[in-house]
Amino acid sequence: MFTYKIPKNLQPQIQIGLRVIVQFGKKKVLTGIIGKVHNKPPQAYEAKPILDILDDQPSVNPLQIRFWFWMAEYYFCHIGEVMFASIPSGLRLSSESKIQANPNFDLETSKYPLDVREEKILEALEKKEELSYEDCEEILGVKTIHPILKSLVAKEAILIFEKVQEKYTPKVETRIRLKEEFVQSKGALEAIFEAVQGKPKQESILLKYLRDVPVFNKPKLNEKGVDKASLLEEGDSESSLKTLIKNGVFESFKHVVNRIDEEEAEREASLLSSTQQVAFDEIKTHFESKQSVLLHGVTGSGKTEIYIKLIQEVLESGSQVLMLLPEIALTTQIVGRLKQVFGSQMGVYHSKYSDNERVEVWNGVLSGRFPFVVGVRSSIFLPFDSLGLVIVDEEHEPSYKQFDPAPRFHARDAAIMLAYFHQAKTLLGSATPSFESYYNANQGKYGYVQLSHRFGDASLPEFFLSNISADRKKNLLKLDSTRLLREKIQHALDQQQQVIIFQNRRGYSPYVQCEDCSWTGQCVQCDVSLTYHQFAEELRCHYCGYKEKIPSSCPACGSTQLSTQGMGTERIEESLSLLFPEARMGRMDLDTTRSKYGYQRLLDEFAAGQIDILVGTQMITKGLDFGKVTVVGIWDGDRILNFPDFRAGERAYQQITQVAGRAGRRDIQGQVVIQSRNPDQELFQKVIQGDYFEFFRQEMIDRKKYYYPPFVKLVKITTRHADAKTAEKAAHALHYQMANVAVKKIVLGPEKGIIARIKNQYQYESLIKLDRQGATQSVFKENLARIIEELQSVPEFRSVRWVVDVDPS
């Protein structure tokens, strides 16, 4: 936040949310947004004036600015970081230095002679009004252009100025249409045909145009014309078209097109079943007295149709609706279903969108073109001005939390705040609610609505626990699969049904090890083993992206006995294709879905029945609805349980239930096989019984005893420095100060980070537990800000970085 003076002439126009140009530092010209208008001049410095106002209308509304202030304060970051995350970079302005000729300069009368290179620049400026530094480099073919420009400025031959540019570029098409006079009368058109007689190329273009645009019957159509590229698509020559334009038959014009597809709605919302209707009515009753409602509906219970009905009602009342999804790419099915009903009034805010596409959604919300947006977590920043409803689907999803960079916000929690500012309602939906939300519902803070049966005749899947150790003893384990799993898969394949195999990604990946000296590849700048990527024959670091080719012999001892350890999805896919050579395999993980449409392609193939067995990580658990999947295998159930985190139990319950929920979503009951070395564990029993409440109740006992959310608030502070000693010292200094802050409950640490070094930075983590009261948190944050500032003024800690994560997950 910086304070600027409002010059007299700009005072009448000043409004919160307008973009302005200001000078920053000595030279830089930046754009900023007006966040507050006040009359308290800063004490420490003389405020500079605002140079200019860029907009007639604010591009950010007061509700957004209020939301930004809240986010900066709650998540302990700068308002600038929130602003940066909020505004698509296409709407930010960039400034670039440009040069132009000094109009007062005259070569003839100048006191200072120019050298050859300087003259060249001036010549270029006669042809082009302005040049960038790169242009000048190119003209002269030299890299160091500064001395030359400096000399030209000194000789008063050129001026250097800052050019501020909008980065967003609308997509423009060149279109072709008939000159208006030929559309008016049939005779005129006939005359043209006579004129092009014997010129088959021109005739062909003309005929093609009339085929696409039947101007005889619908003269109005000519106005829009056709895209030039499509007119020339079938190999017609561009020069013939040029001749037709030159001869005044056609004219070409520019047209701005939408990057985002316009699709019309093509179906009505489904009629709700009587159970769905009851849930719908309950939600609305709760909304009368509560801002938020938790919809706890088992997988396949038909939550989406209930959302659709609610969205329709809110849109009809004239308010806006935002629906958050954890990852759009992973939920294309739901987006497709919504698109069918809402058509072109629905905007989609994708994480893989280009910046120009984001700007179009942003502008679509501003102009009212999209009263309804479905989007990923960053869509909470869109310029809504009258939200009536915010839906957070799969509200338990960890990916709603942003880790890096700041603001490290949780989109569900932020969405509830956003809705509060708009006086809108929030609906949280999940088959496996987060403990935070369920706790709030239990406390009566949220309304609670349950759907405990699947839609239609579908029943919930049946579970089987399969003992890996027992099978190994009896020699029944083949390529890490138990006999039971193989039988179930075989049975499904025999019936032309489909199978999904799930392998947990978290905290685990395959690596290469030397069998003789147990060497493993390590990242050169992080404290982690490199992950084995079979397809690319590489070892890669998942933290910094460092990679190297797999060595043919051990770099430590020279042995050629290198073996792969662990089971990534690639290995599982390979094992299964050996076991079921006739089955068609597919794999869905980060590697196979990196491209924008990779995920969609796999889903389409799976839907079309071109894949029999789909192996995948977390991605395959998200909202997929395929009727022919009857068997789901969980490859390594133990891996899901063993994670060193207070949320491990909660996450395991969610994950197993969600994966299992992909099975048997229509008339045939699904079967879920969990492979485990220790199948008697209690958690498995709980998931199988589906007794969420009992599971929650027991976990809460521990959470309360050991002070974990939802009973306390957590703040994690990471201390980072390139030097291990300094990092440790700084972390302890912080820790010591923190222990003196009265409001905290407990301070844990500092501990070496789970990964002690990332990108050559050593890390130490402290965990602070606070009472849930808002006042406690503000006092704590004020103290924290002061402590960090004081520590940063200690010379040896100057380059230490402190990263504060509120509500870490």
Q: Tell me which residues touch ligand ADP (CB under 6 A).
A: 270-273, 276, 297, 299-305, 455, 625
Question: Please, what is the minimum distance in Å from the beta carbon of residue 301 to ligand ADP?
Answer: 4
Question: Please, what is the minimum distance in Å from the beta carbon of residue 730 to Zn ion?
Answer: 22
Beta bridge partners of 410: 401
By a kind-dependent CB cut-off of 5 to 8 A, residue 87 interacts, out of ligand ADP, Zn ion, none, with: none
Question: Please, what is the minimum distance in Å from the beta carbon of residue 71 to ligand ADP?
Answer: 29
For residue 169, what are the CA distances in angstroms to 95, 131, 261, 726? Answer: 16, 20, 17, 47
| DSSP state, residue 329 | G
Q: Which two tokens stand for residue 255?
A: 């047209």
Q: Identify which of residues 118 and 394 has a Cβ nearer to ligand ADP in the complex.
A: 394
Confirm or deny that 541 is annotated as ligand binding: yes
- Residue 132, classed as helix, strand or coil, is strand
Q: Identify which of residues 271 and 739 has a Cβ nearer to ligand ADP in the complex.
A: 271
Question: Please, what is the minimum distance in Å from the beta carbon of residue 529 to Zn ion?
Answer: 10
Largest CA distance in the chain: 102
Q: Identify which of residues 297 and 510 has a Cβ nearer to ligand ADP in the complex.
A: 297
Question: Please, what is the minimum distance in Å from the beta carbon of residue 273 to ligand ADP?
Answer: 5
Question: Please, what is the minimum distance in Å from the beta carbon of residue 759 to Zn ion?
Answer: 6
Q: Which of 378, 402, 395, 413 is nearest to 808 (CA)?
A: 402
By a kind-dependent CB cut-off of 5 to 8 A, residue 300 interacts, out of ligand ADP, Zn ion, none, with: ligand ADP
* Rounded distance between C-alpha atoms, residue 735 and residue 787, angstroms: 10
By a kind-dependent CB cut-off of 5 to 8 A, residue 304 interacts, out of ligand ADP, Zn ion, none, with: ligand ADP
Peptide bond into 433 cis (omega under 30): no
With contact defined as beta carbons under 8 Å apart, do 92 and 163 qualify? Answer: no
In single-letter form, the type of residue at position 171 comes to K
Closest CB to ligand ADP: residue number:
302
Contacts with Zn ion by CB under 5 A lie at 514, 516-517, 519, 523, 526, 541, 543-544, 546, 554, 556-557, 559
* Rounded distance between C-alpha atoms, residue 517 and residue 532, angstroms: 18
Confirm or deny that 136 is annotated as ligand binding: no
By a kind-dependent CB cut-off of 5 to 8 A, residue 544 interacts, out of Zn ion, ligand ADP, none, with: Zn ion
Helices (H), 167-291: 180-184, 186-195, 200-212, 228-231, 238-246, 274-289
Helices (H), 393-445: 411-422, 435-442
Question: Please, what is the minimum distance in Å from the beta carbon of residue 394 to ligand ADP?
Answer: 9
Confirm or deny that 517 is annotated as ligand binding: yes
Q: Which of 457, 293, 326, 337 is nearest to 396 (CA)?
A: 326
Q: Identify which of residues 299 and 432 has a Cβ nearer to ligand ADP in the complex.
A: 299
Q: Identify which of residues 217 and 274 has a Cβ nearer to ligand ADP in the complex.
A: 274
* Rounded distance between C-alpha atoms, residue 16 and residue 715, angstroms: 32
Question: Please, what is the minimum distance in Å from the beta carbon of residue 724 to Zn ion?
Answer: 16
Question: Please, what is the minimum distance in Å from the beta carbon of residue 265 to ligand ADP?
Answer: 16
By a kind-dependent CB cut-off of 5 to 8 A, residue 556 interacts, out of Zn ion, ligand ADP, none, with: Zn ion
| 176: CB partners within 8 A, 6+ apart | 209, 225, 226, 227, 228, 231, 241, 245, 250, 251, 252
| DSSP state, residue 268 | P
Confirm or deny that 77 is annotated as ligand binding: no
Q: Identify which of residues 110 and 561 has a Cβ nearer to Zn ion in the complex.
A: 561
In single-letter form, the type of residue at position 739 comes to A
Is residue 297 packed enough to be buried (19+ CB in 10 Å), middle (13-18) or exposed (0-12)?
buried
By a kind-dependent CB cut-off of 5 to 8 A, residue 455 interacts, out of Zn ion, ligand ADP, none, with: ligand ADP
Q: Which of 113, 99, 98 is nearest to 158 (CA)?
A: 99
By a kind-dependent CB cut-off of 5 to 8 A, residue 86 interacts, out of ligand ADP, Zn ion, none, with: none
Q: Which of 523, 481, 477, 471 is nearest to 501 (CA)?
A: 481
Question: Please, what is the minimum distance in Å from the beta carbon of residue 299 to ligand ADP?
Answer: 5
Q: Identify which of residues 206 and 431 has a Cβ nearer to ligand ADP in the complex.
A: 431
Q: Identify which of residues 344 and 564 has a Cβ nearer to Zn ion in the complex.
A: 564
Q: Identify which of residues 183 and 325 has a Cβ nearer to ligand ADP in the complex.
A: 325
| 608: CB partners within 8 A, 6+ apart | none
* Rounded distance between C-alpha atoms, residue 599 and residue 593, angstroms: 5
- Residue 109, classed as helix, strand or coil, is coil
By a kind-dependent CB cut-off of 5 to 8 A, residue 302 interacts, out of Zn ion, ligand ADP, none, with: ligand ADP
Q: Identify which of residues 393 and 636 has a Cβ nearer to ligand ADP in the complex.
A: 393
* Rounded distance between C-alpha atoms, residue 614 and residue 588, angstroms: 7
Confirm or deny that 554 is annotated as ligand binding: yes
* Rounded distance between C-alpha atoms, residue 94 and residue 77, angstroms: 23
In the annotated binding site, the residues are 514, 517, 523, 526, 541, 544, 554, 557
In the annotated binding site for Zn(2+), the residues are 514, 517, 523, 526, 541, 544, 554, 557
